Structures are given as C-alpha cells and as structure tokens.
Structure 1
Amino acid sequence: MHLRLVEEAAGSARILAVHGRIDSSTAKEFGARLDGLLEAGAPCVVVDLGQLLYISSAGFRMLLIARRLAESRGARLILCGMSQDVRALFDLGKFSQLFPIVASRDQAVAQAV
C-alpha cells in the first residue's frame, strides 16, 4: 500500500484519514489535499494518522506548510491516532511539540468545537 487519503466531515471539522506511507513520492498529494481543505475554509482539519505506516521528511514538510496555512486562516490542525512507531518519528524531530496530538478521532473532533 502506497498512499490512500479519505476525506470525511464531522460537524465543523474536516477529517483527512491517511492510509499507507507519506514519502517523497506521495507528499505532494498529501499536502495538496490538506491545503485544499484549509483553502475551502474548514475551521478545523483533523489528520487521522491511525493507518499511517511511515512519514518522511517530505511529509513533515507538508504538515509544516499546512500548519502555517491553518494559522494564517485562523483554523486548527489537529493530529490523531498515531501508532507508537509514528509517534516516535514525531518525537524524534520535535514535531510533536508543534501540533496538537490526541489519541482518537473523537477527541480531535471534540477539540474542533
């Protein structure tokens, strides 16, 4: 499995569920979908990483770009559902300090209000 992105709505939040890998060959697609949700005016975008197998520096770059866009639009970007392996990558690069990270999609949607 390379990358599959699934968009859903939950109240005012838009959810982008990531399945597979975000690497140099898929990061642009991931970033474009995130930007599209934010450009469309979503007040909160939840990125569900429960099925994310791996994220490279290119994927982290797309998250940073989306974070800046969210801040400029007054929107929230919340990450949820990380496996221990993915969380270790976020911790290693200090990215876990840059994003609100919660355990579940339900917790993320509750924070979106």
Structure 2
Amino acid sequence: MKTFSVTTDTLGEGTILRFNGELDASSSLYADNALEEAIALSSGFVLIDCSQLIYISSAGLGVLLAAFQACNMKEIQLIMVDMQPKIRNVFEILGLDRLIKTADTVEDAMHMVAK
C-alpha cells in the first residue's frame, strides 16, 4: 500500500505543506485539495517541503503545475523546498526548475519571499 500524507502549518503570511511519501495518481487529489486550501488561506507564499517526498508521477507534477498557476493568479509565491535528488532531477529534466522556484531549506525559502 502506497502512503502519502500532507501536514500543513501557517508561517506568517504563508503556508508550509510537508509532503510525505509518494505523490502519484492515487494521492494527487488529496495533495490538490491540501494545496487549494493552503493557497486560499495564504496571502504571501506557499512552501512545499519535499524532504520526505520519495516519488512523484506525472499526475503529481500536474497537481504542482495547477498550484503554481493558482499562486500566480493570486500573486503569491510557490517554492519547492528540500527536494530529494531523484525528485530534483525530474524537475530539471522537465525544465520545471525554471518555472517553479526551489530552495534547499525553509530558511532559504523564507529569505526568497522576504525580497
């Protein structure tokens, strides 16, 4: 049984979501709902902590792109934080790293949104 969970915390004017497990077709709706809620509640930024994300499928990438578009419409930043090498590699191959901001740590991401 594949497992996926999201924990959400408020961080100033934004939200941090911690993805844990495998983001694929079976968990993408759950992730999408969590992201939609976070985007609705945030006024400055949404951070996605990927340190515990071990796999992402094309369905998961679609969820992230939809969240990126929703953030752009609301003029808030979306930043992927602490991606595993395998996940980062997928991002870079697809060129998503040029679209969606990434940071190595939550502290780095917070410096990015402070600018």
SS of the aligned residue for 1:37 comes to helix
Q: CA RMSD in A?
A: 1.2
How far apart, in 1, do the equivalents of 2:3 and 2:90 lie?
Answer: 19
How far apart, in 1, do the equivalents of 2:95 and 2:48 lie?
Answer: 18
Contact 2:82 / 2:104 at 8 angstroms: preserved in 1? Answer: yes
Name the stretch that deviates more: 22-31 or 2-11: 2-11
Aligned positions of 1:100-111 closer than 5 A:
100-111=101-112
Q: Show the counterpart of 1:23.
A: 24
Give the paired residue count.
113
Name the stretch that deviates more: 88-97 or 64-73: 88-97
| Identity, % of aligned positions | 24
Contact 2:17 / 2:48 at 8 angstroms: preserved in 1? Answer: yes
Counterpart check, 1:39 vs 2:40: yes
Residue ranges of structure 1 left out of the alignment (5+ in a row): none
Aligned positions of 1:11-90 closer than 5 A:
11-90=12-91
- AA matched with 2:102: I
- AA matched with 2:87: V
- AA matched with 1:96: D
Q: Show the counterpart of 1:6.
A: 7
